[in-house]
């Protein structure tokens, strides 16, 4: 059916209102051989949305490597999992960008709740949260409001449910003014033999919905809000933002794990985007079965809800389980004990039909494959931009500033200053697993149970991104983001095992955004292949644009690594006087799209230099092995702000200075960036000298950061001044 023929269909205008295109609606009519009714159209509008169907990105994502020796569960499940010390470590990152731009407290809070349930659905107990946040320029009242309320929402949910928030990043750029980014990552642990899949199986098995009541909150969130650009009517979209209850989620968590431990479930799925429609149809598709869902049995928060509202509600804190008939009573008893509503709402059927009923009346009947698999996948039309896409940020650091003043200005800037004022709003140590907090090391370290050898292993987790570098060179910048995350793990002695990503981009129908997306995915794939790790899952968030244009292309990388011994780790700061300070890695600093370039009012553009990826990986190995052996006691990667900032940050942790001499004394040498490729390390002089590739440049000690050049030029800053600049930079933008 042509688009012109689709124009004559009576329901086409309503379909367009719900986010479908006219050709997509025509395709639906052809597939089911009739026009969909109200319930069916609502279901199609959600499952064929960009947020659920990935119709502009699924083909691109096939480039990512998804297999690995330690992989236990990968793409296609609620979250991925890798094996560490006999345990399954489950993890995933997802976005809640548009809801947070409209209502930041609940948007961020429910983003945390949603990613927690993804991990719970695998049968894993969440042990840690991380987040990656992006806002407009910090001088903007809107950006400060979004920061304050989003951080409050994250803290409210994570602290209430008892999951430590152990790390994250915050970045400010004018491109995020209308469209902030809230990416949340969760890590959990489970018995590998108890991992739960989402596939519905067993004709005659029952469909059990348990958790919170179903209301009208969140209706249309995946299509009306998440799969369209933001605009001047954002306030009108607040009813599409879900409302979270972390205390209800805690009960859902404990009940889910008890049900799995008691072997009472066949499959489990959380209700997130598109609510019952998505969870039920995806479970049916994974198992190759049909489902009957009786919405008359769904416990409701509001009277008079229509069947389509029940099917697409995104009310939070709900799970869907497949249960053998003989075990239904036991499932209901467990849920009652946890004070959770649980209802038998349907049955697994033979065939390929998703039937929606109200008692005996069928109000929707669609092939499962049509809902889940038949959405058209679009080929992108990539083209590099003909000119700079992004305006230059406001300049506030003059080029004539000397190196000392430049360093202090960078340290006190909102993009580099200590995140402690934010991290202090999060419980970082609940569950007593946290070995290294976010302000103590480049990656968080979480202890696991003691092994049979009496040694306590650990995992390290990190989340990173550098959108300005990606804007300059999507493939090179995304590769650097992968390497930077791996470098963070190396700094605490961890070996990377798997990666999750959240791909935040503008409108993919625009050639330059398509070009950014395709090349960024290529960079991530190259990085994973070099590290020998799989992508275990993730999220794509597109249409991140406001009235002033698109966000910077922002692929966010989350990574999990293994540490054989939780006690064999390092600090990101100098720990004692008299230790050797050295540089490791093929660090080739440049000012392209650097933080210094931004502060000087330069747009994110230019060529990134090529890198020797094998030499970078070798440096990662050298640092990791040195930390594990105890030779390296301080390890810090060189990233935003370059070497000068890295040295200053090393002095700020414990208030111990250093005296170093560098071959060059240029802006590029001191403040140029090359993420993931270089490290500052410190330790006993003899031990440091034995680290492959280490170049000793000075010693620790004293109360000053002293940086000299071989030609005699130098500057000195009291460590107390370094600490004051770094500690106060973000506080100025918080209430």
User: What pLDDT sits at residue 96?
Assistant: 92
pLDDT in tens, 668-704: 999 999 999 999 999 999 999 999 999 999 999 999 9
User: What pLDDT sits at residue 109?
Assistant: 95
Average pLDDT over residues 8-12: 82
User: What pLDDT sits at residue 386?
Assistant: 80
Average pLDDT over residues 297-307: 94
pLDDT in tens, 510-524: 999 999 999 999 999
Helices and strands (H and E) in the chain: how many: 25, 28
Q: Do residues 75 and 83 lie in contact, with contact meaning Cβ atoms separated by under 8 Å?
A: no
Active-site annotation holds for 51:
yes
Between CA 156 and CA 152 the distance in angstroms is 6
Active-site annotation holds for 56:
no
What is residue 436's three-state secondary structure?
A: strand
Cβ atoms within 10 A of the Cβ of 599, count? 23
Structure tokens at 17: 């209102």
pLDDT of residue 222 exceeding 50, the answer is no
Greatest mean pLDDT among 5-9, 49-53, 458-462 lies in 458-462
User: What pLDDT sits at residue 237?
Assistant: 44
User: Phi and psi at residue 356, in whole multiples of 5°?
Assistant: -105, 125
In sequence order, what are the residues at sequence separation of 6 or more whose Cβ sits closer than 8 angstroms to the Cβ of residue 561?
443, 459, 460, 461, 462, 486, 489, 494, 495, 496, 497
Q: How far is CA 61 from CA 223, 338, 506, 530, in A?
A: 21, 40, 16, 18
What is residue 249's three-state secondary structure?
A: helix
Q: Do residues 686 and 632 lie in contact, with contact meaning Cβ atoms separated by under 8 Å?
A: no
pLDDT in tens, 196-220: 999 999 999 999 999 999 998 878 6
Q: Do residues 716 and 670 lie in contact, with contact meaning Cβ atoms separated by under 8 Å?
A: no
Question: Which candidate in 56, 96, 156, 620 is catalytic?
Answer: 96
pLDDT in tens, 157-195: 999 999 999 989 999 999 999 999 999 999 999 999 999
Beta strands (DSSP E) in 198-289 are 206-211, 267-270
Q: Which residues pair with 344 in a beta bridge?
A: 208
Structure tokens at 553: 């292309």
CA-closest candidate to residue 674, choices 530, 469, 523 = 469
User: What pLDDT sits at residue 464?
Assistant: 96
Structure tokens at 139: 């001088």
pLDDT-based confidence at residue 239 (cuts at 50, 70, 90): low
CA-closest candidate to residue 429, choices 446, 451, 441 = 446
Average pLDDT over residues 214-234: 60
Give 630-664 as a 3 state SS string: CCCCEEEECCCCHHHHHHHHHHHHHCCCEEEEECC
Helix (H) or strand (E) holding 258: helix 246-261
pLDDT of residue 228 exceeding 70, the answer is no
User: What pLDDT sits at residue 221?
Assistant: 47
DSSP 399: T
User: What pLDDT sits at residue 612?
Assistant: 95
pLDDT-based confidence at residue 4 (cuts at 50, 70, 90): low
Q: Do residues 373 and 352 lie in contact, with contact meaning Cβ atoms separated by under 8 Å?
A: no
Between CA 630 and CA 621 the distance in angstroms is 14
Structure tokens at 513: 């955004």
Q: Which residues pair with 214 in a beta bridge?
A: 300
């Amino acid at each position: 059916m042509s688009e012109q023929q689709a124009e004559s269909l009576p329901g086409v205008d309503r379909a367009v209102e719900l986010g479908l295109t006219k050709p997509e609606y025509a395709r639906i009519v052809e597939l089911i051989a009739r026009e969909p009714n109200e319930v069916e159209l609502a279901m199609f509008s959600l499952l064929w949305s960009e947020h659920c169907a990935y119709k502009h990105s699924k083909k691109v994502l096939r480039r990512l490597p998804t297999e690995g020796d330690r992989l236990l569960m990968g793409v296609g499940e609620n979250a991925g999992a890798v094996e560490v010390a006999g345990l399954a470590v489950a993890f995933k990152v997802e976005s809640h960008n548009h809801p947070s731009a409209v209502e930041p407290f609940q948007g961020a809070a429910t983003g945390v709740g949603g990613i927690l349930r993804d991990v719970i659905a695998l049968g894993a107990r969440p042990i840690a949260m991380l987040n990656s946040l992006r806002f407009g320029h910090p001088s903007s009242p809107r950006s400060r409001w979004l920061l304050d309320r989003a951080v409050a929402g994250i803290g409210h949910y994570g602290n209430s449910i008892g999951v430590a928030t152990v790390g994250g990043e915050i970045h400010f750029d004018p491109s995020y003014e209308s469209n902030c980014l809230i990416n949340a990552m969760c890590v959990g642990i489970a018995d590998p033999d108890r991992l739960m899949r989402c596939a519905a199986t067993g004709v005659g098995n029952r469909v059990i919905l348990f958790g919170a009541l179903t209301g009208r909150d969140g209706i249309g969130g995946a299509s009306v809000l998440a799969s369209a650009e933001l605009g001047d009517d954002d306030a009108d979209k607040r009813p599409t933002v879900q409302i979270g209850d972390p205390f209800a989620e805690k009960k859902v968590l404990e009940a889910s794990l008890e049900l799995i431990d008691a072997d009472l479930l066949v499959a489990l799925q959380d209700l997130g985007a598109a609510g019952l429609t998505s969870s039920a149809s995806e479970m049916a598709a994974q198992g190759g079965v049909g489902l009957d869902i009786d919405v008359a049995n769904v416990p409701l928060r509001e009277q008079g809800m229509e069947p389509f509202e029940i099917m697409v509600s995104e009310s939070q804190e709900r799970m869907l389980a497949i249960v053998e008939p003989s075990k239904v009573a036991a499932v209901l008893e467990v849920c009652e004990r946890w004070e959770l509503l649980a209802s038998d709402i349907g049955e697994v059927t033979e065939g390929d039909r998703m039937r929606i009923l109200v008692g005996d009346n069928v109000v929707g009947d669609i092939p499962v494959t049509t809902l889940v698999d038949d959405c058209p996948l679009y080929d992108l039309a990539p083209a590099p931009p003909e000119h700079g896409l992004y305006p230059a940020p406001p300049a506030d650091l003059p080029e004539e500033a000397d190196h000392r003043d430049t360093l202090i200005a960078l340290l006190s800037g909102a993009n580099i200053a200590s995140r402690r004022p934010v991290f202090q709003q999060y419980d970082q140590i609940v569950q007593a697993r946290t070995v290294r907090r976010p302000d103590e090391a480049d990656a968080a370290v979480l202890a696991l149970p003691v092994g049979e050898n009496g040694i306590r292993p650990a995992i390290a987790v990190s989340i990173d991104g550098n959108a300005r570098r990606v804007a300059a060179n999507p493939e090179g910048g995304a590769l650097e983001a992968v390497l930077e995350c791996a470098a963070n793990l190396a700094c605490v002695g961890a070996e990377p095992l798997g990666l999750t990503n959240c791909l935040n981009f503008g409108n993919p129908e625009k050639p330059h955004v398509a070009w950014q997306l395709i090349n960024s995915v290529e960079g991530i794939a190259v990085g994973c292949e070099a590290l020998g790790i799989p992508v275990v899952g993730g999220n794509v968030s597109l249409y991140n644009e406001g009235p002033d244009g698109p966000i910077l292309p922002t692929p966010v990388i989350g990574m999990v690594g293994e540490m054989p011994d939780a006690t064999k780790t390092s600090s990101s700061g100098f720990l004692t006087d008299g230790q050797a300070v050295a540089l490791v890695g093929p660090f080739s600093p440049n000012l392209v799209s650097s933080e210094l370039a931004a502060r000087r009012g330069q747009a994110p553009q230019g060529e990134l230099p090529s890198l020797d990826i094998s030499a970078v990986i070798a440096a990662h190995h050298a640092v990791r092995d040195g930390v594990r052996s105890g030779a390296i006691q301080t390890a810090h990667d060189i990233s935003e702000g370059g070497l000068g900032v890295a040295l200053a940050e090393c002095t700020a942790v414990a208030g111990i200075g250093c005296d170093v001499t560098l071959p060059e004394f240029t802006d590029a040498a001191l403040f140029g960036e090359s993420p993931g490729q270089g490290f500052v390390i410190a330790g006993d002089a003899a031990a440091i000298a034995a680290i492959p590739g280490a170049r000793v440049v000075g010693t620790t000690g004293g109360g000053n950061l002293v940086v000299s050049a071989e030609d005699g030029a130098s500057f000195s800053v009291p460590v107390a001044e370094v600490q004051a600049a770094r500690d106060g930079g973000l506080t100025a933008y918080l209430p």
